[in-house]
Amino acid sequence: MKLRQNVRHFAFKNALTAPVVGEKVTEKLVDLHVRVFGEKAAPGHREEREPHMEAFFDCTFDTYVSALKAGFTEAQAREITHIQANFDFYNHGWTEMMEFPVDELEEHYERYEPFFQKHDITIDDPLGDFRNREIPSAPPTLEKLDDPEHPHAQGGFADDVYVEDDSGEITRGGADPEEAA
């Protein structure tokens, strides 16, 4: 998957893993993700999906911290959470919100399979053990799976995490700054 990455992502990483501050930062980042992905929703569907996305994204921040503790880079940990979200979008038929095409679901799962298995994460249950609260239901649009449209998806990046910096340069791997030095 291709992700954007800049100094703010590393600041958020540090804040999310800090006591007390982490909860406030999580709230802000959940709001940001609900807005960003809500804007990708098909017309007329944003509002009905927002409560679901808010709860779902809140759970993925526990995944992010767990992935960091397991030794994944910031980009890899963030990619894991984005993959979880894309599994959820797929399960609901929200293909217009997906960041990679439907035919790359398995490939993305397989890259992180040991982590996903350890936490009971599957394509059908994208939160696995990280479901720490009730996730409100939201109306699916499963008919979109018959002929999926992915206006926001970027295919061809399923073999690794790719990081695009502020200058537009794309690098493969996503090493943290302290690892790259």
Task: Output 16 or 107, whichever has higher pLDDT.
Answer: 107
What percent of the chain is modeled with pLDDT above 70?
Answer: 88
Average pLDDT, the chain: 88
Q: Is residue 17 part of a domain?
A: yes
DSSP annotation of 103 reads: G
Domains in the chain: how many in total? 1
% of the chain exceeding 90 in pLDDT: 65
Q: Is 8 a residue whose pLDDT tops 70?
A: no
Phi, psi of 170 (to 5 degrees): -110, 125
Among the ranges given (80-94, 139-153, 158-172), the one the predictor scored with the smallest mean pLDDT: 158-172
The answer to the question of residue 12 being in a domain is: yes
Instruction: Please give the average per-residue pLDDT across 13-22, as a whole number.
Output: 74
Distance between CA atoms of residues 70 and 81, nearest Å: 14
Structural domain of 115:
2-131+141-180
How far, in Å, are 70, 94, 105, 110 from residue 114 at the CA level? 11, 27, 16, 8
Structure tokens at 91: 């399960």
Whether 146 and 153 have beta carbons less than 8 Å apart is answered as no
Q: pLDDT tens for residues 118-151? A: 999 999 999 999 999 999 999 999 999 999 888 8
Per-residue model confidence (pLDDT) at position 5: 67
pLDDT of 117 > 70? The answer is yes
Q: What pLDDT is stored for residue 18 in this prediction?
A: 75
Residue 95 inside a domain? The answer is yes
pLDDT mean over 46-72: 96
CA-CA distance, 166 to 171, in Å (whole number)?
Answer: 12
Q: Is residue 13 assigned to a domain?
A: yes
Interatomic CA distance for residues 108 and 37, integer angstroms: 19
Judge whether 163 lies within some domain. yes
Whole-angstrom Cα distance, residue 127 to residue 115? 12
Evaluate whether 174 touches 3 at the Cβ level (below 8 Å).
yes
pLDDT at 175: 62
Which pair of structure tokens corresponds to residue 33? 């993700």
Check residue 180 and give its pLDDT.
44
User: What does the pLDDT average to over 15-40?
Assistant: 86
Distance between CA atoms of 148 and 133, rounded to whole angstroms? 30
Q: For the chain, count helices (H), then strands (E).
A: 7, 3
Could you tell me the sign of the dihedral formed by the alpha carbons of 16, 18, 23, 27, in that order?
negative
Q: Is the pLDDT of residue 1 over 80?
A: no
Distances (CA, A) of 68 to 17, 65, 80, 94, 100: 9, 5, 10, 28, 23
| 30 in a structural domain | yes
Residue matched to tokens 């293909």: 95
24 has pLDDT over 90? no
CA dist 178 and 109 (Å) reads 27
pLDDT of residue 181: 40
Which stretch of 18-27, 60-69, 75-84, 90-99 has the lowest confidence by average pLDDT?
18-27
Establish if 136 belongs to a structural domain: no
